[in-house]
Amino acid sequence: MDKAEMAQNDKIKDREIGLDVNFATSAGTPASFQAPSIVAAQSPDKTTLDKIQGAIHLAGIGGIGMSALARLLLAQGFKVSGSDKQSSEITQELEQSGAVIHYGHKAENLKNAGALIISTAIQKGNPELDEALRLNIPVFHRSELLNFLSRDQKLIAVTGTHGKTTTSAMVGQTLLDCGFDPSVVVGGIFDRIKANSYHGKGQYFVAESDESDGTHASATPHIALITNIEPDHLENYPGGFEQIMKSMEVFVDRTTGFAVICREDKGCLDLLRRLEARPQTRMVTYGTDAQCSYRLVDLGGKSFEVWQGERLLGQVDLIVPGFHNKLNALSALAIALELGADFTSARAAIGSFAGVDRRFQLIGKKAGITIVDDYAHHPTEVIALLKAARQHAADARVVCVFQPHQPGRLRDLWNEFVGAFNDCDEVIILDIYIARGGAIEGIDSARFVQALQQNARHPNASHLAGSIQSVAETMAPRLKPGDLVLTVGAGDVTRLGPLLLQNIQNDR
């Protein structure tokens, strides 16, 4: 290595960590919130993305979040390139739409790039990030790209520990069907737009705003929707739950219109109390208590009544199961009604919502066995999923196959996870899926199963180690006609359902 290369490497090492974000409130007062250090390296000499010469290159373009942004860039006429580990249906669709996609992360992939877009998962040592820094190619976090894409529309930003994808899709579908023609970005494919993003020509832009890495606090929403607030992603919040709460205060304070907040959630109630002294943002609340701006009365099954103050607006009948989805639907109705939609149209829109991929998604049925896939990877999500499954399954045996996602989450929420599976008849734990970082000594699936076995509800909990293929081969003979099998988690457990269907014999 010559001196010039060594000097360049030293410059890369010395780059500051963080986002180009001024965390000031809408009133202009600096917020007492320190954003997590989420971006491994920041490029100097950034310019606005509309002045970039060359392609906008997205690292990990095949991911559900990055691909949604790539679709919008293409719809707005930008040159797009990207890279991913392997070809997929998503990358093939993007290629057909005009994106240039490279397989494998390599420095030469940036040959024609004018800017690099990264997620929090991309860190120093990634060859594309290192090459961008070496060549002084501007580097943007994906949250900055989202803010840019929504620049000419009013942002409806949906955040919270759980339910962001489903709720964003519900809001998007309701506004689409009520004639608002918003742009939409969600973390999953849903039937109304047959994709994970849509380029609308109306004045609103509906998007998930990711709280996992603190970047939601860089958004400037017109409408801020918060579904719930709980401890999660604590590796990005060294200040713990208090830092998460302060990030939510900033998120609301930066809102230019109004905030929609769930009164059914303890964290959201705490946030509302904190915000009482700062009346600059109008609050619209939803839930089941009489103080809510929009209140639901549960009618059982998939139905509920909607009340606005003392006025009954009418009954809503959903396709998707679970009380949590009634709350999600109510928040979407609240936004639509606040924007001037009539209740009859909004009710019809939300009543036709059929769900999002990986959210209680039916994979198939064979030999009387039903397979459903779900993204739940936090204890609260697992509890809500199993309650919905129990409601859906009636007297069927509910078999939950859970793949823990990240050792740190399992460690931080150990007791909560142990108590999360009470609504299933059998629980099977797979090996921990490690998306980033490494293993943690003493935190493994075998030990977790021992803790589940000590819970009187699950003395027969089991651990199936090995590949997803081997798990499918082992599990299939154990299943019985009438079973509802849930494949649950944020990792590659989503591959299990189709493999189970292949391995289940019809003659049982």
Residues catalogued as catalytic: 164-165, 208
Residues in the chain, total: 508
Q: List 316's β-bridge partners, or say none.
A: 304
Write the DSSP assignment of 188-250 as a string of letters: EEETTTTEEEE---SSEEEEE---TTSGGGG---SEEEE-------GGG-TTHHHHHHHHHHH
- Show Cβ contacts of residue 196 under 8 Å, excluding neighbours closer than 6 positions: 64, 67, 68, 71, 185, 186, 187, 188, 189, 190
Is-contact 308 300, C-beta < 8 A? no
- Which of 108-112's residues contact partners 24+ apart within 8 Å by CB, and which partners? 109/57, 109/81, 109/83, 110/57, 110/135, 110/137, 112/54, 112/55, 112/81
Cα distance between residue 342 and residue 356, in whole Å: 25
Reduced to 3 states, what is the DSSP secondary structure of residue 47?
Answer: coil
**Which tokens sit at 414?**
């150990």
Per-residue HEC secondary structure of 124-136 comes to: CCCHHHHHHHHCC
436 CB neighbour count, 10 Å cutoff: 10
Output the CA angle 91-95-97, nearest 5 degrees.
115
Strands, E assignment, 421-473: 426-430, 462-464
Cα distance between residue 306 and residue 287, in whole Å: 10
Closest CA to 329 of 159, 221, 160, 174: 174
CB burial of residue 254 (10 Å; 0-12, 13-18, 19+):
buried
Write the DSSP assignment of 394-413 as a string of letters: TTSPEEEEE--B-HHHHHHT
- Show Cβ contacts of residue 436 under 8 Å, excluding neighbours closer than 6 positions: 121, 406
Reduced to 3 states, what is the DSSP secondary structure of residue 319?
Answer: coil
